[in-house]
Amino acid sequence: MSIPGLGQITAQQSSAPATRTVALHPFSEWRFQISPASTAACRLVAGTAERDGTELAQNKTYSLTRCRSKIVSFTGATLEVSGEFESENVKHSPTPAASPFVAYLNLHFLLQARRTQASQGGNGQGPRVMICGPAATGKSSLAKMLIGWATRQNEQPVLATVDPRDGMLALPGTLSAAVFATVMDVEDPEGGVGVGCTPSSGPSAVPVKLPVGYYFGREKVEDDEQLWKDLVRRLGSSVRAKTGGDQGVRRGGVVIDTPAVDFKKGEVKVKNEDGQQQVEQGGGVEGLMHVVREFAVNIIVVLGSPDLEAELRSRNNKSTLGEPIEIVNLDKPDGVVEQDRQYLLSSRKALIKDYFFGDSKRALSPSVQSFSFDDVVIFRAVDGLDLDDPPQVLERAEITEEMSHWTLAVMDASVNDPLETIRQAPVIGWVCVSDVDKDRRRMKILSPVSGRLTRPMVWGRWPEPYVNLLG
């Protein structure tokens, strides 16, 4: 309701930061990078524009921070921007045909058609789309766009990530999934899928998203491939159960973001985030095929790798549900920057901070409590080769100073559960060890809520400890 003339409030300071206008032609992008220390504002003055598939409201000032992102217009738009940018530029597309978004949009409309077909006949199963490719090909961005566009057309698709580096609605090191039914948070540094978009005890101006997550606690798949596969299976079966029970979600289908796999000429490379390549035997493609099976993928979108496309084509041509698997390779959009190590590290830290303390829109009040060593149960993956049969997967972690500043995953399990159960349990949250006093056998733990820590916790090996979280 608008009540004109209501509540003329407060006179306030008049110093406005310099604003300027960014004009976007149809199918051009405004790309920007904003450091975690600064903020910028963006307002859509005319036309239509969107971030990762979610439209900007007209004349609403969005506050942006800590991100490398882009705002795209398909119809042309005028933006008003202000604030500090590390870098910023407009990428024009000479013609729509030259824009990668043409293919993305077509892909969306194709998926939309499949959804309609699915609900009109057949099993009601919407498309299960796996997006894969080498690093810096815009996989996550495409995944978000496909989800955003689908929700705009009133679909309720699942977005899943099996890339432990992402931290989709979770801390990094987690494989997760969530149903998206409403707009994403345009202001979220992660484009609406950051951990800041998960529920808190208070209301949220942008609808929260409810994830299910499994804690991998490693950066790379190959660091513990067996665990990764087990967790992909768990996540896949949760998503299948979800789509099975909810007709709307079933129709909406699933979009799965995957770890970077750089496949070339018979060898599989997995790229580190700092650009170093690790050659590895078949793991990458095997991993993808594992995802295809566990999520009953029937559409594979490869970004920027005809070789990978060819390899995947040679593998299997039937989905778990018996449908033909369709595979397409799309060009990698140019200008996707490979994120440097420092940037990614700072993003991870910021995510951890968001998780406990909230963001600029929601300040949260976590608690710091002191626990006796005997009051907590912390496990850690057994390192190295284990010759036991069956192999012991977890062991009680010895609590030492070394644990300081690490985030621990709190598992939805009981401390008395079998280790295997704990290892594959969904994560219900995280705590951060802020201090360990070995002499007094007490430790201080930062936790979103106060209360006893009765759940088993897992000490992963990634993301790295966040030393100054508590100052």
Q: Which residues are annotated as a binding site for ATP?
A: 29, 68, 136-141
Question: d(Cα 198, Cα 202) in Å, to the nearest integer?
Answer: 11
- Per rule CB under 8 A, is residue 45 in the interface with another protein? yes
CB 211, min distance to another protein, A: 6
Tell me which residue has tokens 């045909």: 97
Report the residue number, 270 or 302, with the smaller CB distance to another protein.
302
Q: What is the DSSP letter of 435?
A: E
For residue 190, which phi and psi values (nearest 5 degrees)? Answer: -90, 15
Question: d(Cα 198, Cα 357) in Å, to the nearest integer?
Answer: 13
- Per rule CB under 8 A, is residue 121 in the interface with another protein? no
3-class state of residue 289 by DSSP? helix
User: Which residues does the annotation place in the binding site?
Assistant: 29, 68, 136-141
Q: What is the DSSP letter of 324?
A: B
Report the residue number, 155 or 163, with the smaller CB distance to another protein.
155
User: Please, which residues have CB within 8 angstroms of residue 327's CB and are 6 or more apart in sequence?
Assistant: 299, 300, 302, 309, 312, 313
CB 325, min distance to another protein, A: 10
CB 413, min distance to another protein, A: 6
Closest Cα partner for 183 from 197, 167, 171?
Answer: 197
Per CB under 8 A, the list member of 413, 433, 436, 458 interacting with another protein is 413
Question: d(Cα 192, Cα 56) in Å, to the nearest integer?
Answer: 13
Asked if 30 and 22 touch (Cβ cutoff 8 Å), the reply is: yes
Per CB under 8 A, the list member of 197, 260, 410, 458 interacting with another protein is 410
Tell me which residue has tokens 């951990």: 195
The binding track of 199-238 with respect to another protein, each residue x by CB under 8 A or -, is: xxxxxxxxxx-xxxx------------------------x
- Per rule CB under 8 A, is residue 344 in the interface with another protein? no
| CB-facing half-sphere around the CA of 267: CA atoms within 13 A | 7
Asked if 218 and 462 touch (Cβ cutoff 8 Å), the reply is: yes
Report the residue number, 206 or 285, with the smaller CB distance to another protein.
206
Per CB under 8 A, the list member of 68, 152, 229, 233 interacting with another protein is 152
Helices 139-152 and 100-120 pack at an angle, to 10 degrees, of 50
Q: Per CB under 8 A, which of residues 249..278 are in contact with another protein?
A: 249
Question: d(Cα 349, Cα 358) in Å, to the nearest integer?
Answer: 13
Report the residue number, 77 or 292, with the smaller CB distance to another protein.
77
- Per rule CB under 8 A, is residue 107 in the interface with another protein? yes
Per CB under 8 A, the list member of 216, 343, 355, 379 interacting with another protein is 355
Tell me, by CB under 8 A, how many residues bind another protein. Answer: 174
Asked if 304 and 136 touch (Cβ cutoff 8 Å), the reply is: no
Looking at the chain, how many residues does it have? 471
Report the residue number, 270 or 300, with the smaller CB distance to another protein.
300
Per CB under 8 A, the list member of 76, 286, 315, 338 interacting with another protein is 76
Per CB under 8 A, the list member of 71, 143, 288, 330 interacting with another protein is 330
- Considering only 82-90, 253-261, 273-281, 391-399, which stretch makes contact with another protein by CB under 8 A? 82-90
- Per rule CB under 8 A, is residue 384 in the interface with another protein? no
- Per rule CB under 8 A, is residue 385 in the interface with another protein? no
Report the residue number, 39 or 339, with the smaller CB distance to another protein.
39
Q: Per CB under 8 A, which of residues 416..435 are in contact with another protein?
A: 416-417, 426-429
- Per rule CB under 8 A, is residue 1 in the interface with another protein? yes
- Per rule CB under 8 A, is residue 350 in the interface with another protein? yes
Per CB under 8 A, the list member of 179, 193, 254, 403 interacting with another protein is 179
Report the residue number, 235 or 270, with the smaller CB distance to another protein.
235
For residue 321, which phi and psi values (nearest 5 degrees)? Answer: -90, 5
- Per rule CB under 8 A, is residue 285 in the interface with another protein? no
Report the residue number, 385 or 467, with the smaller CB distance to another protein.
467
Asked if 138 and 336 touch (Cβ cutoff 8 Å), the reply is: yes
Q: Per CB under 8 A, which of residues 295..324 are in contact with another protein?
A: 299
- Per rule CB under 8 A, is residue 11 in the interface with another protein? yes
Whether the bond into 463 is cis, omega within 30 of 0: yes
Burial profile 355-380: b = 16 or more Cβ within 10 angstroms, e = fewer: bbbbbeebebebeebebeeeebbbbb
- Considering only 62-70, 262-270, 382-390, 395-403, which stretch makes contact with another protein by CB under 8 A? 62-70
Asked if 189 and 344 touch (Cβ cutoff 8 Å), the reply is: no
Token pair for 189: 């540094």
- Per rule CB under 8 A, is residue 441 in the interface with another protein? no
